C-alpha cells in the first residue's frame, strides 16, 4: 500500500482509504467519485510540493501532493 | 395549448457542455440575474418547440451532486429550485467523455421525482477520445428517455426539441432502479487509447515547455485585455462626456435649471456614466479573453503550472490570473476572482488585488516622480510596484493565518477536456458579464461619483462650478484635513496633495489632473459664465474615432512594454510643467513626495474598484478591506517619512514609529476579532 503522492508517473492503483485528516478533501473526493475501489492513474507527478495530475474514470484532476498524501492506494 | 409556457430545467455537472446546450437552444433570448440571496448567476431563456409551443429554460448551476457538501451554494440553489419550482421537464446533461462519473448525479435527481430527459452531450469528443457510448443501453438501464447531441455543432438539437415536445405532452412513467456503477460499465466503454486532451497536456504541462507557454498566454491576456482595451478608452471618454456631461449641462442651462441641479445632473450623473463607460472596453476585452480561455480548458492548466508558487502565499493557482490583471486595472481583477471556487481564496484575492499598482497609478508615479527625482524615477517606481506586491503577499498571509485558519481547504479540482472555444459561448458569456458590470457595479460607482463631484463643484460661497479651484468644498475639506497628512511628509501648506487624495478616489489618474491644476500658479478659467454652447457630438465622435486610430498606432510600443514603464524616462525630456515649481516648493523633500506616493498606492482603491468589490464580496468585506488599507498605508507612509527623520530628530521619529505601530497592532487585533465573529455570521453563509 502506498500514498497517492508516492506513485510514479504512469502508475495505476485502486483507492483503498481516504484519511480523515482533511474532512473537506474526503467529502470532495466522495463527490468526485474518488472513493475506495476507484482506479486512479497518475499522469504527472509533481516535483516537491507542486500539484499532480491524475485520471479517474475518464476525468482528469489536479491535486496538491499534500492532499494526495492523505489518499491510500493499493498498486495493482 | 401554447398560451402557458412550460418551464424546463437544465442540470449537469461542471464542464459538461450544459451552457453550450442552453445557448444553442435559446440563442439570444436570454436573461441573467442572480439567484435570490447568493452571488450565483441565474440564466433564463426562451425557445420555441417545433409545434410552436413556447418553453422557458432555466440553466441551473453546474453541480456534481445535490448534497450541499462541497459546492455549498451551487448545490443548494439547484436543489431548492428542483424542490420548490415545478419544472415540466428536467434535462440532465451528461458529458459522454466522462459518462461513468456523470451518472452518479442521476440518483439524486431521480429522487426529486421530476420527469427527466437524459441528454448525452459531446458524442463527437467521445469518438475522438476513443470512447464508445451506448445510449440505447443507457435508456434501457435507467428506463428514462435518452437523446444524444453534439451541442457545440448543433447536431441532434432538432431531435432533442422534438423529444421535449413529445415528453411535455405525455411523460411515460417507467422507471427502473439501477446501480450507477454497474450501469456505467455497460454504457461507457473506453477503448484504452490515450485521449486527445492527454496528448495536448503532454506539451502544455511539459516540465520544460509548460512555463514558457504559460508566460506567453499570460502576456497575451494582459496585452489584449489591458493594452488593446485601453485603445478604446478615450473614445468612450470623449463621446460619453460629450453626450452625458456637456449635453446634459447644455440641456439643463437651456431649460433654466438652477446651478446646483446643473452640477448634480451634468457633473454628478453624467460624469458617473462617463466614468463607468470608460471601463467598458478594458472589461469587455478581459472577459472576451477570459471566456475564451475558460471555454478552451486552458485556464485550469494555467492554474496547475503556477500552483506551486501560489501555494506559498496560501492561495490556489487560479488566483494568479486576477492578480496579474490587477497590474492593468483593479476593476477586472476583482471581477476575475469569480473563477475561484473556494470562497476563502476568492475573498483573499479580492482583498489583495487592489494592492497591485494599476496603470492609472503609474501615471501619478510618473508625474510626481519626474518632478522630484528625475534621475531615480525608474527605481522609485520599481520600488512602489514591489512594495504593492509585498503588501499583497503579507496581507494574504495574515488572512490565511488569522482569519481563514479554521477553514479546511481541499486542493483537488477537475481539469476539463480541451475544446475549441465556441464564438457563440464566448460572446454570450462576455455580454452577460459586461452587462452585470454596467448595471450592478455601475450603479454603485455612479453614487460615489455623484457625491464627490457635487462636493468638487460646490463652492464654499454657495456658488457652483468650482472644480479644480481653491474655493470648492472639496478643497476646503482638503485644507482642514491637511494636518492629518503632515506625518506622511506632505508639508503644512500642501493642501492640493490632500485634495488629490480625494479626487484620486474617482480614478487614480485624476490625481495628476488635480495636482497639475491646483499647483499651477494661474487661476482657473471661468466655467459656467452665462451661455453654455451645445456640445458638438458629431465632432466629438470624430475626435473619439481619431483617438482610437492614434492609440492603435501606439499599441505596437505597448506590446514590448505592457506596463507602460517607458513613459517614465520620457517624462523628463518634456518641458517641465509650471505646476512642478509650486509642487517642489510645498513638499518638504523628495522623500516626502515618495511617502505620498506610497500612500497613493495603498490608501484605497478607486470608486470603480470599490463598486465591484461591494458587488462581488459584500459591504462587510469591502469595509474590512478599505479600513485595512487606510490604516496600513498611513502607517507605512508615515513610518517611511519618520525613518527619514531618524538622524535629524531621533526622539520624534522613534516616538512616532513606536506609537503608530502600537496603534496599528491594536486596530489590527480588534478588526480581526470583529471579522472573525462576522465571518461566522455572514460570510459562512456564502460558502467558504
Residues of chain A in contact with residue B303, where contact means CB-CB under 8 angstroms, are 62
Q: Does B200 touch chain A (CB under 8 A)?
A: no
Where would I find the H helices in B504-536? Answer: 510-519
CB contact under 8 A, A53 and B413: no
Q: Does B134 touch chain A (CB under 8 A)?
A: no
Euclidean distance between CA atoms B55 and B162, whole angstroms: 12
Do residues B48 and B108 both lie within one domain? yes
Q: Based on the structure, what is the number of domains in chain B? A: 2
CATH number at residue B187: 3.40.50.300
- Rounded (10°) angle between helices B607-645 and B343-352: 60
By three-state DSSP, how is residue A53 classified?
strand
CB contact under 8 A, A62 and B198: no
Interface of B with A in 19-48 (CB under 8 A): none
Do residues B551 and B609 both lie within one domain? yes
Three-state SS annotation for B145-204:
CEEECECCCCECHHHHHHHHHHHHHCCCCCCCCCCHHHHHHHHEEECCCCCHHHHHHHHH
Query: In the structure grid, which three cell numbers stand for residue B297, read together?
Result: 480548458
- Cα of A60 to nearest chain B Cα, Å: 5
Residues of chain B in contact with residue A57, where contact means CB-CB under 8 angstroms, are 98, 100-101, 184
Q: Is residue B199 part of a domain?
A: no
Euclidean distance between CA atoms B554 and B99, whole angstroms: 50
Q: State residue A52's pLDDT score.
A: 92
Vertex A49 angle, CA A48 and A55, to 5°:
95
- Predicted TM-score (pTM) of the model is 0.79
Buried b (16+ CB within 10 A) or exposed e, B22-45: bbbbbeeebebeebeebbbbbbbb
Residues of chain A in contact with residue B100, where contact means CB-CB under 8 angstroms, are 57-58
CA B340 vs. chain centroid, Å, equals: 12
CB contact under 8 A, B97 and A58: yes
Do residues B286 and B432 both lie within one domain? yes
Do residues B128 and B271 both lie within one domain? no
pLDDT-derived band at B350, boundaries 50, 70, 90: very high
Buried b (16+ CB within 10 A) or exposed e, B593-618: bbbbbbbbbbbbbbbbbbbbbbbbbb
Do residues B129 and B39 both lie within one domain? yes
Where would I find the H helices in B173-297? Answer: 180-187, 196-204, 210-222, 229-231, 233-240, 247-254, 259-262, 271-296
Q: Based on the structure, what is the number of domains in chain A? A: 1
**B110: domain range?**
6-193
**Is residue B683 scored above 70 in pLDDT?**
no
Which of A20, A21, A62 would you mutate first to test chain B, the one with the most B CBs within 10 A? A62
Which of B303, B411, B418, B419 would you mutate first to test chain A, the one with the most A CBs within 10 A? B411
Q: State residue B526's pLDDT score.
A: 42
Q: Mean pLDDT: which of B221-235, B415-429, B438-452 is highest?
A: B415-429
Q: A26 to each of A5, A60, B69, B101, B402, how far by Cα in Å?
A: 16, 18, 10, 17, 24
Residues of chain A in contact with residue B214, where contact means CB-CB under 8 angstroms, are none
Q: Is residue B592 part of a domain?
A: yes
pLDDT-derived band at B674, boundaries 50, 70, 90: confident
**Residues of chain A contacting B, Cβ within 8 Å:** 22-25, 27-34, 43-44, 46-51, 53, 55-64, 66-67
Q: State residue B10's pLDDT score.
A: 93
Q: Is residue B613 part of a domain?
A: yes
Do residues B231 and B162 both lie within one domain? no
**Is residue B173 scored above 80 in pLDDT?**
no
CB contact under 8 A, B308 and A49: yes
**pLDDT-above-90 percentage for chain B:** 13
CATH number at residue A33: 2.30.30.90
- What backbone torsions phi and psi does residue B11 show, to the nearest 5 degrees? -135, 155
Q: How many CA within 13 A on the CB side of residue B108?
A: 22
**Is residue B636 scored above 90 in pLDDT?**
yes
Do residues B260 and B184 both lie within one domain? no
Do residues B565 and B634 both lie within one domain? yes
Residues of chain A in contact with residue B120, where contact means CB-CB under 8 angstroms, are none
Q: State residue B90's pLDDT score.
A: 92
- Cα of B127 to nearest chain A Cα, Å: 13
Q: Averaged over B559-564, what is the pLDDT?
A: 74
Do residues B543 and B622 both lie within one domain? yes
Chain B residue with minimum CA distance to A61: B414
Q: For residue A25, give the nearest of B97, B98, B412 by CB distance.
A: B412
Q: Does B76 touch chain A (CB under 8 A)?
A: no
Q: Averaged over B237-241, what is the pLDDT?
A: 90
CB contact under 8 A, A61 and B311: no
pLDDT-derived band at B528, boundaries 50, 70, 90: very low
Q: Is residue B675 part of a domain?
A: yes
CB contact under 8 A, A64 and B415: no
Which residue would you say has higher pLDDT here, B465 or B288?
B288
Q: Which residue has the cell 488566483?
A: B319
**A16: domain range?**
2-75
Residues of chain B in contact with residue A64, where contact means CB-CB under 8 angstroms, are 307, 311, 411
Q: Does B317 touch chain A (CB under 8 A)?
A: yes
Amino acid at each position: 500500500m502506498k500514498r497517492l503522492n508516492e506513485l510514479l508517473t504512469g502508475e495505476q492503483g485502486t483507492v483503498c482509504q481516504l484519511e480523515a485528516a482533511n474532512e473537506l478533501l474526503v467529502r470532495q473526493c466522495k463527490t468526485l467519485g474518488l472513493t475506495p475501489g476507484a482506479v486512479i492513474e497518475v499522469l504527472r507527478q509533481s516535483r516537491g510540493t507542486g500539484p499532480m495530475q491524475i485520471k479517474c474514470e475518464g476525468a482528469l484532476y489536479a491535486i496538491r501532493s499534500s492532499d494526495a498524501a492523505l489518499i491510500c492506494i493499493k498498486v495493482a | 395549448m401554447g398560451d402557458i409556457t412550460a418551464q424546463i430545467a437544465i442540470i449537469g455537472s461542471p464542464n459538461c457542455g450544459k451552457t453550450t446546450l442552453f445557448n444553442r437552444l435559446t440563442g439570444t433570448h436570454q436573461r441573467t440575474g442572480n439567484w435570490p440571496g447568493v452571488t450565483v448567476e441565474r440564466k433564463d431563456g426562451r425557445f420555441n418547440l417545433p409545434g410552436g409551443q413556447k418553453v422557458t429554460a432555466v440553466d441551473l448551476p453546474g453541480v456534481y451532486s445535490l448534497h450541499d457538501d462541497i459546492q455549498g451554494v451551487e448545490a443548494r440553489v439547484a436543489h431548492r429550485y428542483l424542490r420548490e419550482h415545478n419544472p415540466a421537464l428536467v434535462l440532465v446533461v451528461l458529458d459522454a467523455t466522462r459518462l461513468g462519473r456523470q451518472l452518479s448525479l442521476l440518483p439524486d435527481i431521480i429522487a426529486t421525482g421530476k420527469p427527466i430527459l437524459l441528454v448525452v452531450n459531446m458524442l463527437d469528443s467521445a469518438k475522438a477520445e476513443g470512447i464508445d457510448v451506448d445510449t440505447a443501453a443507457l435508456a434501457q438501464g435507467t428506463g428514462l428517455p435518452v437523446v444524444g447531441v453534439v451541442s457545440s455543432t448543433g447536431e441532434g438539437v432538432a431531435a432533442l426539441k422534438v423529444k421535449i415536445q413529445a415528453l411535455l405532452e405525455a411523460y411515460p412513467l417507467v422507471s427502473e432502479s439501477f446501480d450507477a456503477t454497474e450501469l456505467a460499465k455497460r454504457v461507457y466503454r473506453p477503448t484504452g487509447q490515450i485521449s486527445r486532451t492527454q496528448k495536448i497536456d503532454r506539451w502544455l504541462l511539459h516540465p520544460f515547455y509548460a512555463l514558457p507557454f504559460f508566460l506567453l498566454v499570460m502576456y497575451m491576456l494582459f496585452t489584449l485585455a489591458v493594452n488593446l482595451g485601453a485603445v478604446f478608452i478615450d473614445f468612450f471618454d470623449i463621446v460619453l462626456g460629450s453626450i452625458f456631461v456637456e449635453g446634459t449641462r447644455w440641456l439643463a442651462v437651456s431649460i433654466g435649471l438652477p446651478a446646483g441641479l446643473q452640477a448634480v445632473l451634468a457633473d454628478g450623473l453624467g460624469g458617473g456614466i462617463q466614468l463607468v463607460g470608460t471601463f467598458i472596453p478594458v472589461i469587455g476585452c478581459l472577459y472576451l479573453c477570459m471566456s475564451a480561455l475558460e471555454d478552451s480548458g486552458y485556464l485550469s492548466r494555467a492554474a496547475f503550472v503556477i500552483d506551486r508558487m501560489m501555494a506559498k502565499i496560501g492561495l490556489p493557482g487560479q488566483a494568479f490570473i486576477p492578480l496579474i490583471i490587477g497590474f492593468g486595472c483593479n476593476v477586472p481583477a476583482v471581477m476575475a476572482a469569480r473563477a475561484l471556487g473556494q470562497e476563502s481564496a476568492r475573498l483573499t484575492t479580492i482583498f489583495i488585488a487592489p494592492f497591485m499598482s494599476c496603470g492609472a497609478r503609474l501615471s501619478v508615479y510618473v508625474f510626481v516622480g519626474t518632478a522630484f527625482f528625475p534621475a531615480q524615477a525608474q527605481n522609485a517606481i520599481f520600488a512602489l510596484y514591489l512594495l504593492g506586491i509585498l503588501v499583497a503577499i503579507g496581507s494574504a498571509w495574515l488572512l490565511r493565518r488569522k482569519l481563514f485558519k479554521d477553514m479546511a481547504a481541499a486542493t483537488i479540482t477537475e481539469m476539463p477536456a480541451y475544446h475549441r472555444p465556441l464564438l457563440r459561448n464566448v460572446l454570450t458569456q462576455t455580454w452577460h458579464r459586461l452587462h452585470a458590470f454596467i448595471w450592478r457595479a455601475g450603479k454603485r460607482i455612479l453614487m460615489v461619483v455623484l457625491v464627490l463631484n457635487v462636493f468638487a463643484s460646490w463652492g464654499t460661497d454657495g456658488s457652483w462650478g468650482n472644480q479644480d479651484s481653491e474655493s470648492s468644498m472639496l478643497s476646503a475639506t482638503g485644507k482642514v484635513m491637511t494636518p492629518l497628512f503632515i506625518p506622511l511628509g506632505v508639508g503644512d501648506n500642501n493642501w492640493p496633495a490632500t485634495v488629490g487624495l480625494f479626487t484620486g478616489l474617482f480614478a487614480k489618474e485624476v490625481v495628476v489632473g488635480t495636482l497639475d491644476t491646483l499647483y499651477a500658479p494661474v487661476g482657473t478659467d471661468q466655467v459656467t459664465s452665462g451661455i453654455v454652447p451645445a456640445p458638438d457630438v458629431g465632432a466629438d465622435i470624430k475626435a473619439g474615432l481619431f483617438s482610437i486610430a492614434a492609440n492603435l498606432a501606439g499599441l505596437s510600443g505597448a506590446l514590448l512594454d505592457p506596463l507602460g514603464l517607458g513613459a517614465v524616462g520620457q517624462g523628463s525630456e518634456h518641458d517641465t510643467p509650471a505646476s512642478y515649481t509650486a509642487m517642489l516648493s510645498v513638499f518638504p523633500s523628495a522623500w516626502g513626495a515618495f511617502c505620498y506616493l506610497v500612500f497613493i498606492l495603498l490608501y484605497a482603491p478607486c470608486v470603480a474598484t470599490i463598486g465591484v468589490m461591494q458587488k462581488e464580496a459584500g459591504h462587510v468585506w469591502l469595509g474590512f478591506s478599505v479600513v485595512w488599507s487606510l490604516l496600513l498605508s498611513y502607517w507605512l507612509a508615515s513610518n517611511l517619512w519618520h525613518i527619514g527623520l531618524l538622524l535629524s530628530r531621533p526622539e520624534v521619529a522613534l516616538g512616532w514609529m513606536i506609537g503608530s505601530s502600537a496603534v496599528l497592532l491594536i486596530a489590527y487585533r480588534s478588526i480581526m476579532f470583529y471579522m472573525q465573529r462576522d465571518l461566522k455570521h455572514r460570510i459562512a453563509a456564502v460558502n467558504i
